[in-house]
Chains A and B, each alone.
Chain A
Amino acid sequence: MKIDVRRVADLSKLRLTEDELLTMEKDLEMILAHIERLAAVQVEGVEPTFGSREPEGLRLEPDDPKPGLSRASLLELGPSTQEGYYVVPARESEGRE
Chain B
Amino acid sequence: MTERAYEMTIGLEVHVELLTRSKMFCRCSTRFGDPPNTNVCPVCLGFPGTLPTPNLEAVRLGVRAALGLGAKVNLHSGFDRKNYFYPDLTKGYQITQYRTPLAQDGFIEISEPRKKIRIRRIHLEEDTGKSIHAGDDITTAEYTLIDFNRSGVPLIEIVSEPDMNSPEEARQYLEKLQRTLRFAGVSDVKMEEGSMRVDCNISVRPKGSDIHGIPVEVKNLSSFRAVVKALSYEFERQVDALKAGESISRETRHWDEARERTHPMRTKESSDDYRYFPEPDLPPLILEEAFVEEVRDTMPRLPDEIAAHYTEKLGLTEYDAQVLTLDPNLSSFFDRCVEQGADPKMAANWIMGDVLGYMNRHSLTYEKIPVSPENLVETLGLIKSGAISGKIAKDVLVKVIETGKKPSVIVKEEGLTQMSDEGELLAVIEEVIAANPGPVQDVRNGKEKAIGFLVGQVMKATRGRANPAKVNIMLKEKILS
Contact = CB atoms under 8 A, between A and B. Distances in A.
B144 A11 contact: no
B38 A56 contact: no
Interface string B19-54: 011100011111000011111111011000000011
Interface in A33-64: 50-53, 55-64
Contact of B143 (A7, A50, A68, A88): A88
A65 interface: yes
A1 interface: no
A34 B298 CA distance: 56
Nearest to B99: A50
B37 A65 contact: no
Contact of A64 (B21, B44, B45, B138): B21
A82 B56 contact: no
Interface string A2-18: 00000100110100000
A57 to B, nearest CB: 4
Interface stretch (B187-195, B244-252, B276-284): B276-284
Contact of A87 (B40, B41, B144, B148): B144
B143 A56 contact: no
B386 interface: no
A62 B56 contact: yes
B144 A84 contact: no
A83 B143 CA distance: 14
A69 B40 contact: yes
B143 A89 contact: yes
B267 interface: yes
Interface residues of B, number: 55
A87 B270 contact: no
Given A10-B270, A85-B37, A60 B54 contact: yes
Contact of A90 (B57, B141, B284): B141
A62 B283 CA distance: 17
B58 interface: yes
Given A74-B45, A90-B143, A57 B286 contact: yes
A51 B278 contact: yes
B38 A71 contact: yes
Contacts of B270: 7, 10-11
A94 interface: no
Interface of A: 7, 10-11, 13, 50-53, 55-69, 71, 74-75, 82-90, 92, 96-97
Interface of B: 20-22, 26-30, 35-42, 44-45, 53-59, 85, 87, 132-135, 138-139, 141-148, 267, 269-270, 273, 275, 277-278, 280-286
